[in-house]
Amino acid sequence: MQILDGKKTSEDIKNEIAAEVQQMKANGEKVPHLAAVIVGNNGASLTYVGSKVRSCEQIGFDSTLVALPEETTEAELLAKIKELNEDDNLDGYIVQLPLPKHIDEEKILLAIDPQKDVDGFHPTNFGRMALEMETFLPATPFGIMELLERYKVETSGKHTVVIGRSHIVGRPMSILMSRKGNPGDSTVTLTHSRTKNLEEYTKNADIIITALGVPEFLKADMVKDGVVIIDVGITRVEDASNSKGYVIKGDVDFDGVSKKSSFITPVPGGVGPMTIAMLLKNTLLARKIRSRK
């Protein structure tokens, strides 16, 4: 069994990007500029956006944090997005979700310029991904593909079972794993909350990618020997014995399933760190695309 170490891999990617940025500076080129928009005071969102800004500083990107109050109206946020779309100094930006309930998230995501949508959520980019064209891939699925590639996990002709059909992870994962190339060329089964007899699928899977959000859902008796496990789940579980009062659990019963796995991601330290690294990689791509014009 080999651990797919997202923490180490994400640091490797950041170092590679930092070296490329240094070369851009040496050549007198503009360095990538990423902005993050956050509305309100959601604690988890603030932490996540803060880590994105620190990562930008770490690798030499320019970064801008646009922090708007909770009471910001939809019209005011749309005006800010228009401003960011028209800012030639900016290569890409993200709007941190969730947004306050009085703002229509779909309307906001549709307003983002697809050429600056480094989260890869805009329908234009989603469509380009499905058609195997150059685009910004959603960061978490992109990170999973990068892990599979760097650890030389064989995916061609394999049966991949994806658990969860969210637009952020499950659905794009099912598309990426079935695309031509490496990683890819898999036969994919997309399962979800309405799937009957889920174990019939997981027991026959060569690769399982789970993004369900149910702690330790996937047990050892649900998988076959040699399976590759990608655990996207991340749930806080109360634990009085822990100094924080909780522990982070994935969708997979790690102790049991790891004994049967050929490769497995830990939680934390697996897929999570890769997400920010791939957001940075998307921003670097955005800069390169803009510099071609």
- 119, 206, 251, 253: the catalytic one is 119
DSSP state of 218: B
Asked if residue 268 has a cis previous peptide bond (ω within 30° of 0), the answer is: yes
Phi and psi dihedrals of 288, rounded to 5?
-65, -40
Does 234 carry a binding-site annotation? yes
Rounded Cα gap, residues 76 and 271, in angstroms: 34
User: Is 96 known to be catalytic?
Assistant: yes
Rounded Cα gap, residues 61 and 39, in angstroms: 23
User: Is 281 known to be catalytic?
Assistant: no
Rounded Cα gap, residues 94 and 5, in angstroms: 26
- Going by C-alpha positions, the residue among 130, 112, 221 that lies closest to residue 184 is 130
User: Do the Cβ atoms of 169 and 138 come closer than 8 Å?
Assistant: yes
Does 166 carry a binding-site annotation? yes
- 5, 14, 52, 116: the catalytic one is 52
Binding residues for NADP(+): 164-166, 234
Binding residues: 164-166, 234
As annotated, the active-site residues are 52, 96, 119
